């Protein structure tokens, strides 16, 4: 009997604390959600929100599984999501 193929599932967690919110975290959640839906990755990537990740000064903060990513803008975050997450899932 063949072992079942395990699909990679990635958890994307966006900080929705007040500092990240002011810098565009809400828009980032919407863009991430649209992108995952467009690319049909919604079953393989879970999108969640979190309270302050205690990296407020470093940008808009989010995580790919346990790795913290600090983005300077929503556009940069979207580019990073494409490169690091969609690239590895695709
Ligand atoms: S509010 Fe996002 S890291 Fe603090």
Q: Which atom of ligand 1 is nearest to the CA of 58?
A: 3
What is the structure's pLDDT at 88?
Answer: 80
Give 21-41 pLDDT, tens digit per residue.
999 999 999 999 999 998 888
pTM value is 0.89
Give dist(CA 5, CA 29) in Å, integer.
Answer: 30
CB of 19 within 6 A of ligand 1: the answer is yes
Structural domain boundaries of the chain? 10-89
70 Cβ contact list (under 8 Å, min separation 6) = 55, 58, 59, 60, 61
Strands 45-50 and 10-15: parallel
CB of 89 within 6 A of ligand 1: the answer is no
Domain 10-89 in this protein, CATH class: alpha beta
CB of 17 within 6 A of ligand 1: the answer is yes
Instruction: Tell which residue, 47, 39, 40, has the closest CA to residue 11.
Output: 47
CB of 55 within 6 A of ligand 1: the answer is yes
């Amino acid at each position: 009997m063949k072992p079942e193929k395990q699909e990679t599932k990635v958890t994307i967690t966006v900080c929705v604390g007040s500092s990240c919110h002011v810098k565009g975290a809400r828009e980032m959640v919407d863009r991430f959600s649209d992108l995952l839906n467009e690319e049909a990755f919604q079953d393989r990537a879970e999108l969640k929100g979190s309270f302050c990740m205690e990296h407020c000064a470093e940008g808009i903060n989010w995580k790919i599984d346990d790795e913290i990513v600090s983005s300077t803008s929503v556009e940069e975050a979207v580019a990073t999501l494409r490169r690091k997450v969609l690239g590895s899932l695709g």
